[in-house]
């Protein structure tokens, strides 16, 4: 359950951060995790 909630938390966080300049950095880090399979 925690992992599932974390995934949603990351999605919501990314959507909120998108507005800021840090959104780009957050997206890059998020894609890196997806590439690793984590």
20: containing domain:
2-36
Coil, strand, or helix at residue 33?
Answer: helix
Question: How far apart are alpha carbons 36 and 12 in whole angstroms?
Answer: 21
Q: What local confidence, expressed as pLDDT, does residue 20 receive?
A: 67
Q: What local confidence, expressed as pLDDT, does residue 12 receive?
A: 87
Percent of the chain whose pLDDT exceeds 90: 11
Closest listed residue to residue 27, CA positions, set 3, 36, 2, 15: 15
pLDDT exceeds 60 at position 29:
yes
7, 20 contact by CB (below 8 A): no
Q: What local confidence, expressed as pLDDT, does residue 31 receive?
A: 80
Query: What would the mean pLDDT of 1-29 be, rounded to a whole number?
Result: 80
- Indicate the Cα dihedral angle 5, 11, 13, 16, nearest 10°: -140
pLDDT exceeds 60 at position 38:
no
Number of domains forming the structure of the chain: 1
């Amino acid at each position: 359950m925690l992992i599932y909630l974390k995934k949603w938390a990351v999605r919501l966080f990314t959507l909120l951060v998108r507005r800021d300049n840090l959104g780009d950095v957050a997206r890059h880090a998020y894609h890196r995790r997806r590439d690793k399979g984590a």
